[in-house]
Structure 1
Amino acid sequence: MSDPPGLSVGVSVLLQDEAGRVLLQRRGDDGRWGTPGGRLNPGETFLAAAHRELHEETGLSCPGLTLLPLPDGLVDGPDFRHDYPSGQAVFMVGLRAWGTISAAAVEDAAPDDSGETLELGWFALDNLPALSGAVNVASMNLLRARAGLGPLVNSA
């Protein structure tokens, strides 16, 4: 019998460039694309975690990074179950941070050597790659709605 799903408290970082494209990372665990982000450390604030995760997974910083207000910023509910390749299952609960940086900033990107990030890329909201998990699909749908585009179908 497998363990029941746990909770993962985390943050997603939605970065856009001057053209409205979104920065995504190709993930090392499933090879699909998603936003930088991850779990909070004990005692860490959501915004501090967003800055830390962004730096760890991209080598970039975004001084103007802010938490999105509710309800847009909130990640919760039954749709956000994530099954890791290891077999561990969690329900993700968290917030989204948003900011803008220059597209050229990626030229100086230097993800850490953890293997979480295989590649970084800018993507137009109407031409997104295969996304990793429901949280990334929901985050892209939020950005797409703000740009006047219809929702994606969760194929994760």
Structure 2
Amino acid sequence: MPVSRLVITALLIVSALNLALMVPGGFVETRDFSAYPAVVLGAFNLFLTVLGLGSLVLAYFVAKTGKGHGWACLAGFAFVAVYLLDLGRIFPVPPNPMSTLLATLEWTGTALGAALAVSSIVLRRPANTASVAGPVVSTPIALGLVLVALIIIAFATKSAMGL
């Protein structure tokens, strides 16, 4: 596997795993977000779940085809934005403070997201390179991912609301 594929694939996977560690109700994210309406939390958790699972799917795609650098760059910027909004106490803003471990993971995620965005731009392959059709996600796998996403969203929203 070329270095560019390996770097971007690794950054996508590590970024997704880092994000997964911070699911509300898990070991790290224990803040109370019950002041937010369920719809707001659900939408936010939908975004985070799509970012996390989408990064894993994108990692597979990049590893197999070497394409998807633009999407990887966008994911990198999304990771950076999510973490900086939370670290800057812009959104979401719970009444209780962030733990040291959570802050450390968010700063790590910010660095990983920035590295992903920059790597995706710097390691982009030339536009005139011939490409091969990329892998297609089968229907059972796609349905499985949707089911996993719904479970994650429901769990994270319920946990964030303190239910």
Per the TM superposition, whether the score is higher than 0.5 is: no
TM-score, length-scaled by structure 2: 0.26
Name the structure where helix makes up a greater proportion of residues. 2
| TM-score, normalised via structure 1 length | 0.27
More relative contact order, 1 or 2 (CA 8 Å, 6+ apart) = 2
Q: Which has the higher strand share?
A: 1
